[in-house]
């Protein structure tokens, strides 16, 4: 035990410890007994990707360092709750937070420390090294199927909502992989990709009626897997015949897909957003529960998720039928429930969510807001939805853009006039380099 009883507080994510972290902890150790406020998985996920190591793993590393006396959770990016609890004599942080997204947090720390005469110590930031930079270099190498497969569950545990965007090609996958938007001092990004049967069919100029088989779709999926690291949810339509389902599950799991969504319609596939659903049939509860059970017993890893998609509203079978199926599918082992609707408002799915949340068989809910697109994420979250899939927007965005450029070339008999409407060659090269 150090003779100097001064309390020193250091806030860290400590996902990948490096020289910069060691310098900070050494500085803190010289000042007194060091308490590390270790950001929880949820806190880290609120502003960037989930950490490679979970909270417990990171805690074990830190508590076994000679510089650290104690590790406590820091549940948000806000230091103030822990500072008011400990009333430290010093807070130590690198001087890199004087500008940028953490500037506000720094000012809050200074103001809080003044209440009891505490001091902020800011060692010079260690240049050319950071967890973000290390992770970026790791991503260049890629990821393993098992590592990718486990990500979706981890994100679901760490974030209040998982944002999923449709990807129908490796190029779209790269956009999803790299895109970030800053809003209200937070980084926003898509957490996962959706492999859609509709977009996979449209890409090949075929109708969305399972005319493109799973083997062909998985070949295309491999191209996305080659250049990305984010988790993938696979749209399996109705999963095909019960006898064939295990082969698909094994194939998806082997390449690192995180989840499969299976719908409870049977017969020839007809897209659920079609107005005319004549001839479309819903599987019996017993029959679909058999599919879920078969998928559950086939999968190898607990990380691989089986998501049951309920078509009761699509086929006009009502709320009671949807709730009955949700409970039965959950009991059979579904990890989450997708409740589908083609109404232009979310009243159907919200009514379902309100009642299903009271069930002892409640599982995380999935929304696909294609028809009720005016609905904000905050309202879906408020009603219990944890995964939101934007199911076909990248394909729909590309089509009018390509048509317009093609028209421009024909009208003007040159390509120059379309240049302002399209990406530069440099942008594309930078994306794929």
d(CA 343, CA 349): 9
Phi and psi at residue 48, to the nearest 5°? -160, -175
Where are any strands of DSSP class E within 149-264?
A: 162-166, 181-183, 186-188, 192-195, 232-235, 259-263
* DSSP-based helix, strand, coil % in the chain, nearest 5: 45, 15, 40
d(CA 251, CA 419): 42
Can you read off the two tokens belonging to residue 66?
Answer: 């000679």
Distances (CA, A) of 152 to 43, 233, 335: 17, 9, 12
Residues with Cβ within 8 Å of residue 115, at least 6 apart in sequence: none
Burial environment of residue 365 by CB neighbours within 10 A (0 to 12, 13 to 18, 19 or more): buried
Residues with Cβ within 8 Å of residue 74, at least 6 apart in sequence: 11, 37, 38, 39, 40, 43, 82
Q: Cα-Cα-Cα-Cα dihedral of 414, 415, 417, 419, to 10°?
A: -170
State the sign of the Cα–Cα–Cα–Cα dihedral 45, 130, 193, 294: negative
DSSP run (H or E) holding 89: none
Phi and psi at residue 34, to the nearest 5°? -95, 125
DSSP run (H or E) holding 317: none
Longest dimension (CA), the chain: 82
- Are the C-beta atoms of 329 and 308 separated by less than 8 Å? yes
- Are the C-beta atoms of 154 and 41 separated by less than 8 Å? yes
For the question of residue 237 being annotated catalytic, the response is: no
CB atoms under 10 Å from CB of 219, counted, come to 9
Catalytically annotated residue among 15, 89, 200, 208: 208
Where are any strands of DSSP class E within 23-117?
A: 33-39, 70-74, 90-92
Catalytic residues: 208
């Amino acid at each position: 035990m150090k003779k100097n009883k001064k309390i020193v507080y250091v806030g860290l994510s400590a996902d990948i410890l490096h020289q910069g972290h060691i310098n900070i902890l050494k500085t803190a150790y010289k000042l007194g007994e060091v308490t590390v406020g270790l950001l929880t998985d949820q806190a880290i996920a609120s502003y960037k990707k989930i950490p490679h190591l979970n909270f417990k793993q990171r805690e074990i590393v830190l508590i076994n360092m000679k510089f650290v006396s104690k590790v406590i959770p820091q549940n948000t990016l806000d230091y103030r709750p822990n500072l008011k609890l400990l009333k430290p004599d010093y807070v130590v942080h690198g001087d890199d937070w004087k500008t940028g997204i953490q500037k506000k947090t720094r000012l809050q720390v200074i103001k809080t420390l003044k209440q009891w005469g505490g001091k902020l110590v800011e060692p010079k930031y260690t240049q050319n090294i950071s967890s973000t930079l290390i992770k970026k270099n790791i991503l260049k190498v890629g990821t393993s199927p098992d590592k990718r497969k486990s990500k979706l569950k981890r994100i679901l545990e760490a974030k209040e909502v998982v944002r999923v965007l449709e990807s129908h090609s490796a190029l779209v996958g790269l956009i999803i992989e790299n895109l970030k938007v800053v809003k209200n001092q937070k980084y926003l990004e898509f957490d996962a990709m959706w492999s859609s049967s509709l977009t996979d069919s449209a890409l090949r100029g075929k109708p969305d009626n399972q005319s493109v088989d799973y083997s062909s779709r998985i070949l295309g999926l491999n191209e996305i897997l080659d250049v990305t690291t984010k988790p993938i949810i696979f749209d399996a339509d109705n999963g095909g015949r019960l006898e064939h389902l295990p082969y698909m599950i094994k194939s998806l799991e082997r390449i690192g897909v995180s989840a499969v969504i299976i719908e409870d319609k049977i017969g020839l596939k007809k897209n659920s957003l079609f107005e005319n659903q004549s001839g479309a049939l819903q599987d019996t509860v017993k029959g679909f529960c058999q599919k879920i059970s078969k998928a559950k017993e086939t999968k190898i890893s607990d990380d691989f998720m089986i998501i049951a998609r309920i078509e009761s509203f699509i086929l006009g079978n009502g709320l009671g039928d949807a709730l009955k199926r949700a409970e039965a599918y959950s009991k059979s082992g579904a990890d989450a429930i997708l409740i589908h609707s083609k109404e232009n408002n979310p009243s159907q799915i919200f009514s379902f969510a309100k009642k299903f949340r009271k069930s002892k068989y409640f599982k995380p809910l999935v929304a696909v807001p294609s028809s009720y697109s005016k609905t904000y994420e905050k309202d879906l979250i408020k009603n219990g939805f944890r995964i939101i899939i934007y199911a076909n927007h990248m394909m729909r965005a590309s089509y009018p853009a390509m048509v317009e450029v093609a028209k421009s070339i024909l009208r003007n008999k040159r390509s120059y006039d379309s240049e302002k409407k399209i990406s530069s060659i440099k942008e594309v090269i930078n994306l794929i380099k």
